[in-house]
């Protein structure tokens, strides 16, 4: 067992200890060690995939920036041409900055460095404010958002800024995938010990084989960079929900829409 352990490296995580059939502490130790190797292997694989995804996401804006600057330097151009190139470059720089900001937020949530600063939050009032802020974006796409505030206050303990990010990300996702004249219905409901927030859209829906992966980082149903972001919004929403002791789940039907249910503890 010791000889095998010395042969195991980060590049050779598939190597496992031979488990003796001794039904004692040695067998339990070998089984526990192999389970630990499995967890580490998944973590290394996830980290490798993350690096590959980041590299892929950075490649496009950096290539565009490089191309813009190379074209600008080939000859003297008019002020309008320079202005157009600078605007394009600024758009790509903002894109890279947004990626860095999202990754930093996820890293802080994962490391528990960014723990929720909990206070009393009126959930209904907060969601009404979020919808008012995002309504303009929905109207540009011809999408209507409905939210009827139920009678009575629905309060919980949570970090208001983080919770706003959670629901903004889900609503932004719903707007992106809902076609013109579509509808997004938002509702809240008090359960025994949790508050449930439902966000239901009449969008394109999510295929069954993809529904389990929509919370993965950098996962996108559509790889078009013009219509879709980085694929981090739902992952951030899930991390925030879990940091509050809550859950987020999704159900969908192709061509009919998607429903997200966020459950947050009331106390």
**Residue carrying the six token digits 């565009």:** 64
- The alpha carbon of residue 29 and the mean position of all alpha carbons in its chain are separated, in whole angstroms, by 37
Indicate yes or no: pTM above 0.85: no
CATH architecture under which domain 1-114 falls = Orthogonal Bundle (1.10)
Report the alpha-carbon distance of residue 185 to residue 127 in Å, rounded.
Answer: 12
Q: Compute the distance between CA of residue 93 and CA of residue 103 in angstroms, rounded to an integer.
A: 15
pLDDT in tens, 3-39: 888 888 877 878 889 999 999 999 999 999 999 998 8
What is the domain partition of the chain in residue ranges? 1-114, 119-265
| Residues above pLDDT 90, as percent of the chain | 42
pLDDT at residue 150, rounded to an integer:
76
What is the CATH T-level fold of the domain 119-265, as seen in this structure? Heat Shock Protein 90 (3.30.565)
Return the pLDDT at 217.
Answer: 79
More confident: 127 or 256: 127
Summarize pLDDT for 186-240 with one digit per residue, the tens: 999 988 889 999 999 999 888 877 888 888 877 776 544 444 566 788 989 999 9
How far is 170 from 176, CA to CA, in rounded Å? 10
Q: What is the pLDDT of residue 224?
A: 41
The answer to whether 1-114 and 119-265 have equal CATH topology is: no
């Amino acid at each position: 067992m010791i000889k095998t352990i010395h042969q195991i490296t980060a590049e050779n995580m598939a190597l496992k200890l031979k488990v003796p059939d001794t039904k004692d502490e040695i067998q339990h130790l070998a089984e526990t060690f192999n389970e630990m190797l499995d967890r580490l292997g998944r973590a290394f694989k996830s980290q490798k995939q993350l690096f590959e995804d980041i590299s892929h996401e950075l490649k496009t804006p950096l290539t565009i920036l490089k191309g813009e600057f190379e074209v600008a330097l080939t000859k003297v151009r008019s002020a309008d041409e320079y202005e157009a190139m600078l605007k394009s470059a600024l758009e790509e720089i903002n894109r890279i900055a947004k990626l860095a900001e999202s990754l930093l937020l996820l890293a802080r949530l994962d490391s528990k460095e960014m723990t929720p600063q909990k206070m009393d939050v009126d959930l209904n009032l907060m969601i009404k404010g979020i919808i008012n802020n995002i309504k303009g974006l929905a109207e540009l796409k011809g999408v209507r958002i409905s939210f009827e505030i139920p009678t009575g206050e629905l309060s919980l303990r949570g970090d208001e800024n983080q919770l706003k990010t959670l629901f903004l990300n889900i609503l932004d996702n719903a707007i992106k995938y809902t076609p013109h004249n579509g509808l997004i219905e938002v509702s809240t409901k008090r359960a025994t010990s949790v508050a449930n927030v439902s966000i239901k859209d009449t969008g394109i829906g999510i295929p069954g084989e993809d529904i389990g992966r929509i919370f993965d980082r950098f996962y996108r149903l559509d790889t078009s960079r013009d219509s879709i972001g980085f694929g981090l919004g739902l992952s951030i929403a899930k991390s925030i929900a879990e940091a509050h002791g809550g859950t987020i789940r999704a159900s969908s039907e192709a061509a009919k829409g998607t429903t997200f249910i966020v459950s947050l503890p009331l106390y």
